[in-house]
Chain A
Amino acid sequence: MMMMLQQAMSWGDVLMGIDPHSYAALGVAFAIGLSVVGAAWGIGLTGASLVGAAVKAPRIRSKNLISIIFCEAVAIYGVIMAIILLNKFNSGSGKSATVTYQDHFAGFAIFASGLTVGLSNLACGICVGITGSGCALADAQESSMFVKILIVEIFGSALGLFGVIVGIIQSADGSFQ
């Protein structure tokens, strides 16, 4: 029996010791999970104000659904990213016995990409929700306010788009062997 010299373990060993596939799976979970949390939060915020304001001013009902659609778009970004990442995750996983450098890279890339998309969509969803609620209330009092506050919402929803763009570039080269 050979006596093996025990070296002190460091955090690097712990992080590298985790299988890259689990990193990738977590990345997919963050991508879709956090995006949906953001979208749901936003729709809840906007929907409550919209329903209340439409009691006195029914004309705002159809126009203000745009705010809800902006929030929903955030969830769609999350679904798209999750599907893209899943395709990378499924390609070639489990075919080789040892974990290579490429696998580590793929695992980290997919994890980071998922986290990027998830967190930015979370923030974007809440932002659009709060702004949409203000938009519904202002539109009920004065119709000319709707278009102006919609511009604020458009800037808000661009935040989710930034996250998706960066996420796609992050995960572009990652693929399991």
Chain B
Amino acid sequence: MSAEAKEESKKEVQEYYEAQSYVRVGGEVGGLAYFNADHGYLEALLRGFRSGFLKEFELRQLCQCTTLEDVKLTFGDTDYCNVLNGVSKLGPDNITDLCWRKCANEFLFLRDQATGQLATFMDFVTHQYLIKNICFLITGLLNNSDPNSLLERMNPIGVFPGIRSVLTFENTQDGMVELYRTVLIDTPVAPYFEQYFNTEIQADEPYQQLQDVYNEVEIDIISNMLQKLWLEDFYYYTQELGGETAIIMKELLEFEADRRAIEIVINSFSTALNDQFSRDSERKALFAPFGTLYPEGIESFSKVGDMASLATALEPYAVFRTLWQRAQQDGISIQDALYAYEVQLNVLAFQGQSHFAAFYAYIKLKEQEKRNIWWITSCIFQQRDQKDFNRWLKIF
């Protein structure tokens, strides 16, 4: 065989295996007596990582630091001791990025070892980051950023082998469809793009909307729509898994859907989505079709145009009412109150054994820890008063 033919066959084999990794395994996940055979090792490893979260006294020590060099010293006793080795210029973005990369490496290690339903479950978690990465790259291209720096700043969890080719996107007519046809169709998130394109096709003028040239706001809306589709898919998959996984994930994902709905409403207040006409069509399409707020709360969001009417719309729901009151009493934003409640729920996911929800909760809690570290290092960098530091949340 000539060298070229060997290269060709090697590439075919590689593509085949890449395609196999997007296979979805369904069915029920076993209970206490069967779970450990396939997934016991990984769950035990995950619980080892759980003990690596920054504890409350370590976060307080971080708050006491005056410079970012002190932060590096304080990290020496924690799990992050080797993360900042050899880094010359310390800044909040730098430190947060390195800490997140450590977490991403651990998560991807678990993903590589996983088989069966756990592999599919963890793939679902990475798909969210994949959608964010693709939209981040497209937004970066629209702003004419340097492509190499874009690739470095992507989230390491949501990377598929051909992600460089997303950079071939051109902001012209049919640009998005071309991107889909050439690059995105091979990714695991292709079904979400397909569903999105199908909902965008109008009866009389096919592809009219897709021929538009995009700007940043529209990419943001597309990203939210895709994430809604992802969340729906994930929800139905976890319900199919059954058992303890389904019970815990139902609660976690329903809260995620509700939190996302409230955040979309709040973020839409100063944009075109808040118009009377687009509330029912465009904004409503961004809300997931499940959750505590669905369907009556979502219906009442059609009348919501500012914070006061949002508070009235959330009145019937005990959880959100108490969170809103807490936010007003403590003087924090409603998003922070929602994050605090999310941390509470995800911590509870670690209470049971033999289910997958801990893998999802781990990533969510690491996100919160990333926010914690970013906030504290930013405050240190900007040399703020001690009372400004208190936005961090205790995790374990």
Contacts and interface: CB of A to CB of B under 8 A. Distances in A.
Interface of A: 41, 44-46, 48-53, 55-57, 126, 129-130, 133-134, 136-137, 140-141
Interface in B35-90: 36-37, 40-45, 47-52
Given A53-B48, A55-B48, A137-B353, A45 B43 contact: no
Contacts of B50: 141
B51 A49 contact: no
A44 B353 CA distance: 16
B139 to A, nearest CB: 38
A50 B44 contact: yes
| 3 closest residue pairs by CB, A with B | A52-B44, A56-B48, A48-B40
B78 to A, nearest CB: 13
Interface size range on B against A: 10 to 19
A155 B40 CA distance: 23
Contacts of B51: 56-57, 140-141
Nearest to A136: B44
A140 B44 CA distance: 9
A41 B33 contact: yes
B43 A52 contact: yes
Interface of B: 32-33, 36-37, 40-45, 47-52, 353
A50 B36 CA distance: 11
Contacts, number: 64
A177 B51 CA distance: 65
Contact of B42 (A52, A56, A126, A130): A52
Contact of B32 (A48, A50, A53, A130): A130
Given A49-B44, A51-B44, A137-B353, A56 B52 contact: yes
Given A44-B37, A133-B36, A137-B353, A49 B48 contact: no
5 contacts: A51-B41, A52-B43, A55-B45, A140-B44, A141-B51
Task: Tell me what chain B mostly uses at the interface: helix, strand, loop, or mixed.
Answer: helix
Given A51-B41, A52-B43, A134-B353, A45 B48 contact: no
A67 B45 CA distance: 19
A177 B285 CA distance: 84
Contacts of A48: 36-37, 40-41, 44
Given A52-B45, A55-B48, 19 more contacts: A48-B44, A49-B36, A49-B44, A50-B44, A52-B40, A52-B41, A52-B48, A53-B44, A55-B44, A56-B48, A56-B49, A57-B51, A126-B33, A133-B36, A136-B44, A137-B44, A140-B44, A140-B48, A141-B47
A107 to B, nearest CB: 33
B36 A57 contact: no
A140 B45 CA distance: 10
Contacts of A137: 43-44, 47, 353
Contacts of B47: 52-53, 56, 137, 140-141
A50 B40 CA distance: 9
A interface, by DSSP: helix, strand, loop or mixed?
Answer: helix
A133 B49 contact: no
Nearest to A53: B44
B215 to A, nearest CB: 47
A57 B44 CA distance: 11
Contacts of B41: 48-49, 51-52
Contacts of A130: 32-33
Contact of A133 (B42, B45, B353): B353
Nearest to B40: A48
Nearest to B42: A52
A137 B32 CA distance: 14
Nearest to A45: B36
Nearest to A130: B32
A133 B33 CA distance: 11
Contacts of A51: 41, 44
A55 B37 CA distance: 18
Contacts of A126: 33
A64 to B, nearest CB: 11
A110 to B, nearest CB: 29
Given A56-B51, A56-B52, A141-B51, A45 B33 contact: yes
Max chain B C-beta neighbours (<10 A), residue from A46, A57, A137: A137
Nearest to A46: B36
A130 B40 CA distance: 11
Contacts of B52: 56
B35 to A, nearest CB: 8
Nearest to B46: A52
A5 B40 CA distance: 65
B235 to A, nearest CB: 28
A74 to B, nearest CB: 15
